């Protein structure tokens, strides 16, 4: 009888620990994002990389729940995959725990800051930090440290309080880490290869602007 009681006690305690390991505000944000079944939007893209001169590109972005983001364009453009993930799917795909880091101003808003730490080896990042507007239940910023592709910092801007998907996203990243496939950035892109090969740390930024969202959500 004592063994049975001890087993049940351990099961309850483990369940309690797990429940407390995931931030409830993150789960509420995830629930809101999970209500989006699909969306399409017109995308405008600009880059700020010292050795690349690329005109603004336009494309259509398409998302269906459970699938990877797709986009179509008359001029093929390669993007860091993290810049297209507005849904948190890549961060919450495998088991994880969270750590509350308190409150901090970000983007002019008082945000809750948490670390997301994967507990499954299949996750492709080691740690992520997200800044959440808990009142509006949406992301304000995130910083993702991947295992192979360096780190990314994303800042999200919204035109209206009720929106859950951003109107603008700025992605900052380490160029050496992501190995940009410059041969696929379009024929009208100029590359300063001497500057590209020069020593020293190189960073870059991508600016995404979205318009004309067509969103399908759960009723």
3-state secondary structure of 20: helix
Can you give the pLDDT at residue 78?
59
Spatial separation of the C-alpha atoms in residues 188 and 11, rounded to whole Å? 61
Can you give the pLDDT at residue 154?
92
Can you give the pLDDT at residue 115?
97
Structure-block tokens of residue 125: 């990042």
Chain mean pLDDT for the chain:
81
In the sheet that holds 203-217, the strands lie side by side as 70-72, 57-64, 36-48, 203-217, 168-174, 151-157, 138-146, 125-133, 109-118, 96-106
Can you give the pLDDT at residue 194?
76
Among the ranges given (10-14, 111-115, 128-132, 186-190), the one the predictor scored with the smallest mean pLDDT:
10-14
SS3 content of the chain, % helix, strand, coil (to 5): 25, 45, 30
Residue pLDDT, tens place only, 118-177: 999 999 899 999 999 999 999 999 999 988 878 889 999 999 999 999 999 999 987 665
CA distances from 121 to 17, 35, 93, 167 (A): 20, 28, 12, 33
Can you give the pLDDT at residue 160?
94
3-state secondary structure of 31: helix
Give the domain 23-217 fold: outer membrane lipoprotein receptor (LolB), chain A (2.50.20)
CB 173 within 8 A of CB 179: no
Mean pLDDT of 86-109: 90
Mean pLDDT of 108-116: 95
Instruction: Indicate if the pLDDT at residue 72 is higher than 70.
Output: yes
Can you give the pLDDT at residue 199?
59
Model-level pTM? 0.81
CB 192 within 8 A of CB 175: no
């Amino acid at each position: 009888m004592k063994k049975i009681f001890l087993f049940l006690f351990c099961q309850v305690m483990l369940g309690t620990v797990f429940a407390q390991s995931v931030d409830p505000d993150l789960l509420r944000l995830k629930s809101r994002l999970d209500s989006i079944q699909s969306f399409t939007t017109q995308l405008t893209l600009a880059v700020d990389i010292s050795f690349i001169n690329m005109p603004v590109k336009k494309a259509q972005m398409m998302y269906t729940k459970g699938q990877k983001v797709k986009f179509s364009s008359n001029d093929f453009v390669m993007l860091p995959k993290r810049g297209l993930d507005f849904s948190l799917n890549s961060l919450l795909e495998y088991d994880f725990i969270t750590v509350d880091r308190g409150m901090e101003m970000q983007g002019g808003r008082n945000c809750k800051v948490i670390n997301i730490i994967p507990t499954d080896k299949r996750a492709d990042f080691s740690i992520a930090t997200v800044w959440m507007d808990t009142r509006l239940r949406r992301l304000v910023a995130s910083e993702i440290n991947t295992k192979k592709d360096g780190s990314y910092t994303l800042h999200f801007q919204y035109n209206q309080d009720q929106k859950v998907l951003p109107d603008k996203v700025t992605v900052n990243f380490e160029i050496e880490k992501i190995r940009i496939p410059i041969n696929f950035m379009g024929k009208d892109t100029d590359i300063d290869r001497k500057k590209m090969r020069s020593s020293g740390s190189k960073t870059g930024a991508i600016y995404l602007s979205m318009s004309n969202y067509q969103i399908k959500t759960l009723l």
